[in-house]
Structure 1
Amino acid sequence: MKSYSILEINEVLKGVILGTTNQKITAPEQIELANSSEISFIGNKKYEKFWGTSKAAVAIVNEDISIAPGLNRAFIKVKNADLAMSQVLKLFAPPMPLFDCEIHPTAVVDKTAVMGNGTRIGAGCYIGPNVVLGDNTTLYPNVTIFDDCTIGNNTIIWSGAVIRERCHIGNDCILHPNSTIGADGFGFRPCPEIGLAKIPQIGNVIIGNSVEIGANSCVDRGKFSSTVIGDGCKIDNLVQIGHNSRLGRFCVMAGNSGLAGSVTLGDGVVIGGSASIKDHATIGNGAIVGGGSGVIGDVPAGKTVLGYPAVEARVALKQWAILKRLVSFSKK
């Protein structure tokens, strides 16, 4: 079991220690569940009230903390408690699943595929013709990568992921279990002869560097050209990204949200859980779409929109307040 003193932890965090404790720290834990050998964090002042009943020996706190640690307990004061806690989690992280060999004997690797140095391929994987895998790429069991794809350096692809033909994934990416990259876009048109005619989807998907795609999420290929996910984007589980959509850098999409076809997101856009964006809409840099909202038009840069259909946040809040008053009045 890993354990660290508060001084050893602070060597990593480079914060300011308030209080004292000689307790060795054996794990991080949320503040309500932590025991006397664990470290927690207070990332918001509203959680200070839990410290009095918590058993944690140490908490990572922001610089504006307004309470004292108490007897034989300590705080590590930092500029950003959330980011500091992520460093602590890395200290205590258990090892990743092990590989007995670099390429498992049950993996099927086409003779034309190119393997980078240090690449590891798990049991039951399929690597198609002309695939290029970068250095230190890890494919866990039962990953499928079809023809002419490229995968960058240090990328991790978890079990069950499927990457369709001609798609390109950058460096330092993580694809979680059962994610699908490059499925056909949802394209059909009424046809007198057959009812619905399928529109061929002949484009691909291009994913930048340091992108994370959650479990069971799907990024559809372009009808023509590419669906593009910019550098640093973070996509939650169960997210749908439609064909020919283009995400800028560092966008965030929470679970069950979705983009219809040809949506454009600027840099730093945040899409809340279960929000949906109409096809061909443009969401400007830094805009926020609240959870459960339905966006049916463009959103200017920096704006926050809420509701179904989504409107500017302050307008939505006024509408809800008026509706609440009307309902209360009708009951009188």
Structure 2
Amino acid sequence: MKSYSIQEINEILKGVIVGSTIQNITAPEQLEAANESEISFIGNKKYEKFWVTSKACVAVVNEDISIEPGENRAFIKVKNADLAMSQVLALFAPPTPLFNIDIHPTAVIDQTAIICNGVRIGAGCYIGPKVVLGDNTTLYPNVTILDECTVGKNTVIWSGAVIRERCHIGNDCIIHPNATIGADGFGFRPDPERGLVKIPQIGNVIIGNSVEIGANTCVDRGKFSSTVLGDGCKIDNLVQIGHNSKLGRFCIMAGNSGLAGSVTLGNGVIIGGSASIKDHTTIGDGAIVGAGSGVTGDIPAGKTMLGYPAVEARDALKQWAILKRLVNESKSK
């Protein structure tokens, strides 16, 4: 079992220790569940009230903490407790699943594929013709990568993920279980004789560096050209990204949200959980779409939108307040 003194942990965090404890720290845990040998964090003042009943011996806290740690307990004050706690979690993280052999004998690898240095390929994987896997890429069991795809250096693809033909994934990416990259876009047109006619989807998907794609997320290929995810995008589980959509750098999409076809997101856009974005919509840099909102038109940079249909946040809150007042007034009559 890993254990560290508060001084050893602070060597990494480079914070300020307030109080003291001789307890060795064996694990991180949330405030309410921590025991006497565990470290937790207080990332917001509203959680300070839980410290008095917590058994944690140490908490990572922001510099503006307004309480004292107490006897034989300590705080590590830092500029950003959330970021510092991520370093603590990394310190205690268990090892990733083991590979007894770099390339499992049950993996099927086309003879034209290029497998670079340090690549690990788990049982049951399929690597198609002319695929290129960059240095130190890891494929867990039962990953499928079809013809002419490229995967950059240090990328990790978890079990069950499917990378369809001619798609390209950058360096330092993480693709979680059962994600599908490059499935056909949802394109059909009515025909009086043939019913719904499928529109061929002949484009691909291009994913930048340091992108993370959540479990069971689907990123559809372009009808022509590419669906593009810029560097640093973080996509949650169960997200749908439609064909020919283009995401700038460092966009965030929370679970169950979706982009219809040909949506454009600027840099740093945040899409809340279960939000839906109409096709051919453009959302400017730094805009935020609240959870459950429905966007039907373009959004300028920096705006926050709420509601269904989505409007500016201030207007949405006013509308909700008026509706609540009307309902209360009707009850009093």
Q: TM-score, normalised by structure 2?
A: 0.99
Name the residue aligned to 2:100: 100
Shift in Å at residue 193 of structure 1?
1.5
**Secondary structure at 1:40's aligned position in 2?**
strand
Shift in Å at residue 287 of structure 1?
0.3
Q: How does 1:58-137 map to 2 (within 5 A)?
A: 58-137=58-137
What is the letter of the counterpart of residue 219 of structure 1? Answer: V
Whole-Å Cα distance in 1 between the matches of residues 39 and 191 of structure 2? Answer: 63
**Secondary structure at 1:299's aligned position in 2?**
coil
Whole-Å Cα distance in 2 between the matches of residues 48 and 331 of structure 1? Answer: 39
Whole-Å Cα distance in 2 between the matches of residues 121 and 218 of structure 1? Answer: 23
Are residue 7 (structure 1) and residue 7 (structure 2) matched? Answer: yes
Whole-Å Cα distance in 1 between the matches of residues 190 and 116 of structure 2? Answer: 46
- Note the residue ranges of structure 1 that are not aligned, 5 or more in a row: none
- Note the residue ranges of structure 2 that are not aligned, 5 or more in a row: none
Shift in Å at residue 329 of structure 1?
1.0
Whole-Å Cα distance in 2 between the matches of residues 193 and 153 of structure 1? Answer: 49
Whole-Å Cα distance in 2 between the matches of residues 280 and 141 of structure 1? Answer: 37
Shift in Å at residue 4 of structure 1?
0.2
**Secondary structure at 1:244's aligned position in 2?**
coil
Name the residue aligned to 2:301: 301
Q: How does 1:230-269 map to 2 (within 5 A)?
A: 230-269=230-269
Whole-Å Cα distance in 2 between the matches of residues 103 and 171 of structure 1? Answer: 20
Deviations 1:257-307 (A, max 9, x none): 000000000000000000000000001000000000000000110000000
What is the letter of the counterpart of residue 17 of structure 1? Answer: I
Whole-Å Cα distance in 1 between the matches of residues 207 and 125 of structure 2? Answer: 21
Deviations 1:47-73 (A, max 9, x none): 000000000000000010000000000
Shift in Å at residue 330 of structure 1?
1.0
Shift in Å at residue 140 of structure 1?
0.1
What is the letter of the counterpart of residue 27 of structure 2? Answer: A
Whole-Å Cα distance in 2 between the matches of residues 265 and 31 of structure 1? Answer: 37
**Secondary structure at 2:86's aligned position in 1?**
helix
Whole-Å Cα distance in 2 between the matches of residues 226 and 91 of structure 1? Answer: 39
Shift in Å at residue 318 of structure 1?
0.3
Are residue 312 (structure 1) and residue 312 (structure 2) matched? Answer: yes
Are residue 182 (structure 1) and residue 201 (structure 2) matched? Answer: no
What is the letter of the counterpart of residue 34 of structure 1? Answer: A
Name the residue aligned to 1:168: 168
Q: How does 1:203-214 map to 2 (within 5 A)?
A: 203-214=203-214
Whole-Å Cα distance in 1 between the matches of residues 243 and 72 of structure 2? Answer: 57
Name the residue aligned to 1:286: 286
Deviations 1:93-135 (A, max 9, x none): 0000000111100000000000010000000000000000000
What is the letter of the counterpart of residue 147 of structure 1? Answer: D
Whole-Å Cα distance in 2 between the matches of residues 99 and 20 of structure 1? Answer: 42
Whole-Å Cα distance in 2 between the matches of residues 222 and 330 of structure 1? Answer: 51
Whole-Å Cα distance in 1 between the matches of residues 328 and 11 of structure 2? Answer: 57
Deviations 1:5-39 (A, max 9, x none): 00000000000000000000000000010000000
Deviations 1:199-250 (A, max 9, x none): 0000000000000000000000000000000000000000000000000000
Report percent identity of matched pairs. Answer: 84
Shift in Å at residue 316 of structure 1?
0.2
Q: Give the superposed CA RMSD.
A: 0.3
Q: TM-score, normalised by structure 1?
A: 1.00
Whole-Å Cα distance in 1 between the matches of residues 223 and 187 of structure 2? Answer: 8
What is the letter of the counterpart of residue 204 of structure 2? Answer: N
Whole-Å Cα distance in 1 between the matches of residues 193 and 154 of structure 2? Answer: 49
- The list of structure 1 runs, each at least 4 consecutive aligned residues, that deviate by more than 2 angstroms after superposition, is none
Instruction: State the aligned residue count.
Output: 332
